[in-house]
Amino acid sequence: MPSGLRLKPAGLFGDISYLVTPRRVKIAVENLRAAFPNLPASERKRIVRQVYRNLAANAIEEISPARAAATVAVDAQTEARLAHLQQQHEQGRALLFVTGHYGNWEVLAQFMTTRLGNISFLAKEQSNPYINKMITRLRSAMGGQVIPTNIAARLAPKALKSGGILLLAADQDAGSGGVMIEFLGRPAAYFRGWALFSYHYHVPVAFMFLRRESQGFTLEIADIVEPDLTADKDAEIKRLLTLFSDHLAAAVTAHPEQWLWTHRRWKSGIPLPRSN
């Protein structure tokens, strides 16, 4: 089916999901209220509905990732940064691509595979083994390798030592052991693993986001950062995490309907203000 026609049901599927998951909707609305307190309640609900429609579109696009990846637009600045990353990789350097649950992060992984070759995706396994098998097959459809997060500490260093490329979404709550960094005005717990990999293996990090447009997507490479090996390790890890948090906040502020507000991002930071 043509791309435009395939995405027609996304609005319907998204609206149905919105109606049958009231607990997640409540989390999303409260997150939005805390991040953007001046937004009217009607606007918060509109954004959450759009979040669900984006998720439905993501699911439909994942059925044929190559076709979705073919709709990614790249401007001149981003093309130059892609060329820089490719040059670094051809010289034998490992690379880290860090994104968030924004736009379509699955298509981002597929697109970057088409541009730079095989990429290892760090992803949490699904509890349902049949769903997990299906998602892994789809994620690997264009040649990428999926590394489950529960064994990433063992496999990710091997990939980096061999000059590989790792891509991960790094915006979920890291629990009590995470590093607290401000995100949209509140402290949020970040996993330190990717920043530690960057520092330990001297790997440049590219912060990137794939934004959904009315037709296709636009790739943004917000920054490419080299780790400062002369700095204190913990201070450098915090610097890298803060840079990512700031870039993610800028992307979310510009297009809040594209981020996954339905997860409890700040649950290990400070509690939400009491609901009215």
Confirm if 169 and 206 have CB atoms less than 8 A apart: no
Size of the chain in residues: 276
> Per the domain annotation, does 60 fall within a domain?
no
> Per the domain annotation, does 36 fall within a domain?
no
**Rg (Cα) of the chain, in Å, rounded?**
18
- Residue 99: which H helix or E strand, with range? strand 95-99
Q: Count of domains in the chain? A: 1
pLDDT in tens, 3-37: 667 777 888 999 999 999 999 999 999 999 999 99
> Per the domain annotation, does 87 fall within a domain?
yes
Nearest to 160 by CA among 221, 219, 119, 115: 119
Residue 235, pLDDT score:
97
Confirm if 165 and 97 have CB atoms less than 8 A apart: yes
Give one word for 57, left, alpha or beta, with left for phi > 0 and alpha for psi -120 to 50.
Answer: alpha
pLDDT in tens, 244-259: 999 999 999 999 999 9
Q: Which amino acid is at 108?
A: L
Q: Is 110 exposed, middle or buried (0-12, 13-18, 19+ CB in 10 A)?
A: buried
Report CA 92 to chain centroid distance, whole Å.
Answer: 25
> Per the domain annotation, does 262 fall within a domain?
no
Q: Are strands 120-123 and 72-73 parallel, antiparallel or unpaired?
A: unpaired
Residue 107, pLDDT score:
92
Domain that holds residue 183: 73-255
3-state secondary structure of 157: helix
> Per the domain annotation, does 65 fall within a domain?
no
Q: Is 4 exposed, middle or buried (0-12, 13-18, 19+ CB in 10 A)?
A: exposed
CA angle (13 as vertex; 10, 15 as ends), nearest 5 = 105
Q: Which amino acid is at 189?
A: A
> Per the domain annotation, does 44 fall within a domain?
no
> Per the domain annotation, does 17 fall within a domain?
no
Q: What values do phi and psi take at 90, rounded to 5? A: -65, -25
What's the CA gap between 22 and 33, in Å, rounded? 16
CA angle (219 as vertex; 30, 5 as ends), nearest 5 = 80
CA angle (218 as vertex; 65, 41 as ends), nearest 5 = 100
What's the CA gap between 219 and 50, in Å, rounded? 20
3-state secondary structure of 173: coil
Question: Which residues in the chain land under pLDDT 70?
Answer: 1-4, 141-143, 270-276
The percent of the chain in helix, strand and coil, each rounded to the nearest 5, is: 55, 20, 30
